Every structure is written in C-alpha cells, then in structure tokens.
Amino acid sequence: MTAATPEKHRPSLWQRAAQVLGHLPSQCLVCRSWPSDWICASCAQVCWQPGLRRCSRCALPLPASTDVCAGCLRDTPLLQCCHAAVDYSPPWDGMVLRLKFHQQLAWANRMAQMLLRTPGVLASLQQASVILPVPLSAGRMRERGYNQALLLAQALCRQAPPGLVRAQVEPRYLQRLLDTPAQAGLDRAARLRNLRHAFALRPGLQAQDLGACPLLVDDVMTTGATLGAVAQLLQTRGAPAVQALVFARTPAPGQ
C-alpha cells in the first residue's frame, strides 16, 4: 500500500496570532477568575502534581515507591520510557479538547511548559536522536488543518533550555496510512486491531536517520496501543530504544 503524504500545514494568520495571544491574561481554566494566567496559582497548587510518581514505562500513577507498575513488570512494553505531565481528567482534558478540536493553538505552549517541568522529560529530550510527532491520517489532517502532536513537539523544543535539544522534529518520517475508527471507548485489544498496518515510515528512510533513541510525542496516551504500534515499527527498522512524551495519561480503571 502506498502511503498518502499529508499536505504540509501552513498556519493561517489567525492561527499564528492565536499562538502569540496565548501569552496574554485570560480566565483561569479552573475557577474562571479574571484576569488570570491560564491557571491561577491557587488552582495550580490543587490540580497539578508535577512530582507525582509515575511508572517509567507507561506513565501510569504509582501507588507505592517503585519505578515500574505491575502491568509493565508482567508484560514488558515496547517503550523504553514514557513521561506524562498530568492525568487525562478535569481540568486538563478540557485543555486537550480546546487544542485538538477548537483550534485554540496556544494551548500547545501551555502543555509544553508543564511537560518541561515534569521529572524525566528534559533527560528524554536531551537523549533524543530524532523527535517524531505521532501523525494524523491525510484525511484527518485536511479536516483539522494541523497536527496537535506536531505543535506540542515544536513548542517543547522552542521552550526547552538553550542547547538542550540537539534532535530535529521530523513530522514526515512517520506516516499514518489508515484513517482508523475513533479509538475512544475501546479497550487495548480493540485499539491494537484498529492500528494493525496503520503506520509506516517514509520510503527510503534508513536506520541511521532514526538514530539510537527516537522520541515520540503525542497529546494523550490512553492504553498505549498507538505509541506501542509506532515503537514496534521503529524497532523493526533498527531503533534500539524508543521513548515517548505525552501531555496527558488516561488513568487505569479504579485509579
């Protein structure tokens, strides 16, 4: 099957303005106080826990002082490590939806700020040989006009400490061949079936183009099926270690 290459996205004038205007005062995302930064100091203390212990392999919250959750000890994941800034729950799910479906592109900058303050993220950015945003299908890219994972990856590199990130963001290395059905509400097994043969690498790409440690970037990780499918593809092409950064991680049932 020949991959359909997504059209290159050129942000419109209002989209570029939205990224700049995102730095201006507005309402707090949580308590709606005005004027405020995107989240006021009081709400940030309650809602955000940047030091929360998470599994180093799948980014699920850990109940005890351990580095790897029971699920990852039982079934070794394809990712060498994965970091998330927050759980996919209020108010952070609203931030994702604003970026993803309502063209409020400035939220990518806010997500990057939070990720950069999350333990382990700077180390992963520094180790990365190439930074790969998880792609959209050609059809979804035309419909939405932008890839939120690419915006997040670019914001991370732009806001990281000077000289830390040596890798390039490469939005064309990965291709999504299939516009898979919506993944919401599906369990991991169903998601894996949806994603079978969904991704490919750009024709002609060599192992040296990927390097020793490709870094995947996405907005949300639900079961890990998407990132796992991409990691498996990269490993078949010679990448020995694949890491990932996501803004939000869906908690496991019961957490």
pLDDT in tens, 1-23: 444 444 444 544 444 544 444 44
Q: Above pLDDT 70, what percent of the chain? A: 81
What's the half-sphere exposure (Cβ side, CA atoms, 13 Å) at 164?
14
The pLDDT value given to residue 55: 95
pTM > 0.95: yes or no: no
The whole-angstrom separation of Cα 41 and Cα 47 is 10
The whole-angstrom separation of Cα 219 and Cα 115 is 11
The pLDDT value given to residue 6: 40
The separation between CA 121 and the C-alpha centre of its own chain, rounded to angstroms, equals 12
**Whether pLDDT at 40 is above 90:** no
The more confident residue out of 3 and 223 is 223
Beta-bridge partners for 169 = 131
Average of per-residue pLDDT across 170-177: 94
What is the residue whose two structure tokens read 């790969």?
132
The whole-angstrom separation of Cα 116 and Cα 159 is 8
pLDDT band at 28 (very low <50, low <70, confident <90, very high): confident
The separation between CA 245 and the C-alpha centre of its own chain, rounded to angstroms, equals 5
The more confident residue out of 145 and 23 is 145
Mean pLDDT of the chain: 84
The pLDDT value given to residue 150: 98
- Of these ranges, 19-23, 101-105, 130-134, 182-186, the one predicted with the greatest mean pLDDT is 130-134
- DSSP secondary structure code for residue 46 in this structure: H
The more confident residue out of 185 and 208 is 208
The pLDDT value given to residue 187: 57
**Whether pLDDT at 190 is above 70:** no
Low-confidence winner among 6-20, 66-80, 99-113, 189-203 (lowest mean pLDDT) = 6-20
Assign 3-state DSSP to the chain and report helix, strand, coil percentages, each to 5: 35, 15, 50
Average of per-residue pLDDT across 173-194: 68
Closest CA to 19 of 110, 121, 140: 110
**Whether pLDDT at 29 is above 80:** no
The separation between CA 95 and the C-alpha centre of its own chain, rounded to angstroms, equals 13
The whole-angstrom separation of Cα 165 and Cα 167 is 6
Helix axes 225-236, 188-195, angle to 10 degrees: 40
The whole-angstrom separation of Cα 47 and Cα 175 is 35
Contact 38, 29 (CB under 8 A): yes
